[in-house]
Structure 1
Amino acid sequence: MFIEQAFKAKTDWWRYLIGMIIVFIAWQIIGGLPLMAAIILEMGPEIFTMTESSDMMKVLQTLDSNVAFFLLLLMFAVGLGALLLVIRLLHQQPLVEATTSRKKVDWGRFFFGFGIIAVFTIVATIIDYNLRPEDFLWNFDLVPFLILAAIAVIMVPLQTSFEEYLFRGYLMQGLGIMAGNKWFPLIVTSVLFGSLHLWNPEVEKLGYVIMIYYIGTGLLLGIMTLMDEGLELALGFHFGNNLIGALLITADWTAFQTHSILKDVSEPTAGFDIIVPVLIVYPIFLFLMAKTYRWTNWKERLFGRVTRPESINYSEEI
């Protein structure tokens, strides 16, 4: 009932249009002002002549990586604040109903989602490091790393929560109500989530084939949300993926340049490394979650109709 409970809020189509405009302005314009100010102070007016994403990456690399990391994440934090206000004030929906179909947030699910990806990422990195030590440099520097860790622990959950509440919460519920089914919001939010990463330097480095990974990840998170009737697993999983990734390993061609423990200096290729997570690893994650939380009725939860439950009183005066 995760999508259906949004009927208790105000769900007029124009509210979603206005809400998305407000969120976009807060996220990309207001949230981006500190980063733009820092770049202008560093580079001067020539910044306005740069159009390629590779040029922008070079500009970001002129800033201290911890400063750039913080300012990038600050954009998402501002966006999250705006999104939560839109949900609460414009749609008059309690935050818990934008988070889960349960009466309260299940933090056990959050930490399960966090743990499953954190353990996998750490183990996979250790194995990769031992198989290909020549592809990694020891990048650890205590003081910058501790600053990075402090920034990451505070700011990364704001970044990942913004993306989850926007795509798997706000838009999943809104599109589900408008379309009257569950498969449409699942597909659309997955594609939109993948498209959000189009301007990442990884796309320029590896090509558009990496969009399989980004859209596949969006699909994974969307399936988690619909099958589990809430955002908790997706919130924890996304946070764990980005936090451990930021602290553990970096590379010159990735979106987040950090003072991580390791630096990957290998030449990346778009092929097997992209297909394996989507077609093999992700289904294993879903299998483990399904067994843990006893998911059933997959067809209905992923492809069923979205209708107004009779137990909900629908009123424009809510």
Structure 2
Amino acid sequence: MYIEQAYKGSSDSWKFILGVFVVFGAWQFFGGIPLIIALIMSGATGTLATGDMGSMSEALGSNTFLFLMLLTFAIGLACLLLYVTFVHKQSVRSLTTSRRKIDWNRILYSFGLWAFISLALLFLDIWLAPEDYAFNFNLVPFLILTVISIIFIPIQTSMEEYFMRGYMMQGLGILTKNRWFPLVFTSLLFGMLHILNPEVEKLGYGILVFYIGTGFFLGILTLMDEGLELALGFHAANNLTAALLVTADWTAFQTDSVYRDISDPVLGWDVLVPVLVIFPLLLWFFSKKYKWSNWKERLTGRVLTRDEFLSQENS
């Protein structure tokens, strides 16, 4: 009963609606102030109007820009957890999972599994098409990148998971009293929030199929496993390996990574393979490992009322 964990705090509808605006505003406005100040001080104010991440990264240096960009998520996550704690009177544990305590083994297992798969797929692609990659390793910038990434990328991905699959999933479930609407809504919203990424400008709106599909995958993970742990681990591994291992001039993460993708990107079947093949296989694997059942009820079923939930909790 992951969605029903919201009943362990103050679950008034207006608090959820206000919370979305408060947290999103803090994330986007207050979180962006350090980046704006840095761009002004560097004389790169013109990049603010265009929103060109590549120009911002060039003006500030890739590591400085990455740090300031990730800092916005740290501020957003802090605001979210404070709002949940003091306004909803809800614990971080019940926002994270329906289990008696947060299952760190699940987080680490999901992280390790996807990091291994990501590494394998990357090096397979380098072996099959070495002309598409340039060795980009530079020790000092890479060490700085590693420190920034290890500390702040899990914070960035946790902010997205706690906000989308946590706070909004629980809030919409309580409001609509079903599970399918929060799954669909948060998955579509997760995809649409990536619409300003440079990948979309380079490849077209078709790339949103991948982002929306990823949103559905993470949402299904959360509802089937009754907690955020698997989604937290997967998302952190995905972004961390991307930041450290490979970068390109047309991606959101432009870093001093080990490799640079120098190919001319084309939107093709490789966008659909994760959504239609890899993610379903991962769901099947996790379902066997964690013995998931009753898929229809967990993904589309009714959310209990507060009285029903508390009655079950006390029985």
TM (norm. structure 1) is 0.95
| 1:47 Cα offset (Å) | 4.2
Task: Tell me the CA shift for residue 25 of structure 1.
Answer: 2.2
Unmatched 5+ stretches in structure 1: none
Whether contact under 8 Å (1:213, 1:274) holds in the other structure is: yes
Q: How far 1:20 sits from its partner (Å)?
A: 1.6
1:120 paired residue number: 117
Q: Deviations over 1:145-198 (max 9, x none)?
A: 111000001000110000000000000000001111100000000011111111
Would you say how many aligned residue pairs link Structure 1 and Structure 2? Answer: 311
Q: Quick one: distance in 1 between partners of 2:206 and 2:46?
A: 32
Q: Which residue of the partner structure matches residue 41 of structure 1? A: 41
For residue 308 of structure 2, what is the aligned residue in structure 1? Answer: 310
Rounded to whole Å, the distance in 2 between the matches of 1:45 and 1:63 is 11
1:4 aligns to what?
Answer: 4
> C-alpha distance in 2, partners of 1:185/1:46?
38
Matching of residues 119-138 of structure 1 within 5 Å: 119-138=116-135
Q: What residue in structure 2 maps to residue 226 of structure 1?
A: 223
What is the CA distance between 1:56 and its match in structure 2?
A: 4.5
Of residues 27-36 and 11-20 in structure 1, the stretch that sits farther from structure 2 once superposed is: 11-20
Give the residue type in structure 2 aligned to 1:58. Answer: S
User: Cα deviation per residue 1:209-254 (whole Å; 9 max; x = unaligned)?
Assistant: 0000000000000000000000000000000100111101000000
Q: Which residue of 1 aligns with 2:258?
A: 261
Cα distance, 1:109 vs. partner?
0.6
Q: State the match for 2:141 in structure 1.
A: 144
The question of whether the paired residues in 2 share the 8 Å contact of 1:247 and 1:260 is answered with: yes
State the distance in 2 between where 1:165 and 1:130 align. Answer: 37
- Partners of 1:88 and 1:135 lie apart in 2 by 48
Structure 1 match to 2:14: 14
Query: How has the CA–CA distance of structure 1 residues 154 and 299 changed in structure 2, closer, same or farther, with 3 Å as cutoff?
Result: same
Displacement of 1:46 in angstroms is 3.6
Q: Which among 159, 163, 167 is matched to residue 166 of structure 1?
A: 163
> How do residues 69-148 of structure 1 correspond to structure 2 at under 5 angstroms?
69-148=66-145
Structure-2 change in CA distance of 1:311 and 1:180 (3 Å): closer
Paired letter, 1:110? I
Distance in 2 separating the partners of 1:200 and 1:44: 20
User: Is the Cα contact below 8 Å between 1:43 and 1:59 reproduced in 2?
Assistant: no
In the alignment, structure 1 residue 66 sits paired with structure 2 residue 68 = no
Q: Determine if contact 2:136/2:260 at 8 Å carries over to the other structure.
A: yes
| Deviant stretches of 4+, over 4 Å | none
Cα separation, 1, equivalents of 2:145 and 2:57: 16
Corresponding position: 1:281 with 2:278: yes
Counterpart of 2:194 in 1: which secondary structure? Answer: coil
Deviation at 1:60, TM superposition (A): 2.8
**Conserved 8 A contact 1:139-1:259:** yes
Output the CA distance in 2 between the equivalents of 1:174 and 1:61.
40
Structure 1 position 78, deviation (Å): 0.2
Deviation digits for residues 67-86 of structure 1 (CA, Å, limit 9, x no counterpart): 00100000000000000011
Relative distance call for 1:260 and 1:56 in structure 2 (3 A) is: closer
SS at match of 1:43: coil
Q: Take 2:291 and 2:58, find their aligned partners in 1: how far apart are those partners? A: 46
Deviation at 1:129, TM superposition (A): 0.4
Structure 1 residue identity aligned to 2:132: D
Letter in 2 for 1:251: A
Question: What TM-score do you get using the length of structure 2 for normalisation?
Answer: 0.96
Unmatched tracts of structure 2, length 5 or more: none
Distance (Å, rounded) in 1 between the aligned partners of 2:20 and 2:309: 29
Distance 1:78 1:150, change over 3 A: same
Match of 1:240 among 232, 237, 242: 237
Question: Does the 8 A contact of 1:4 with 1:307 survive in 2?
Answer: yes
Amino acid at match of 2:15: R
**CA offsets 1:250-277 (integer angstroms, 9 cap, x no match):** 0000001111110000011111110111
Separation in 2, partners of 1:75, 1:213: 24
Q: Is the 8 A contact 1:8 1:313 kept in 2?
A: no
* 1:175-190 correspondence to structure 2 within 5 Å: 175-190=172-187
1:38 Cα deviation after fit? 1.1
Deviations 1:94-129 (A, max 9, x none): 110000000000111101110121011100011100
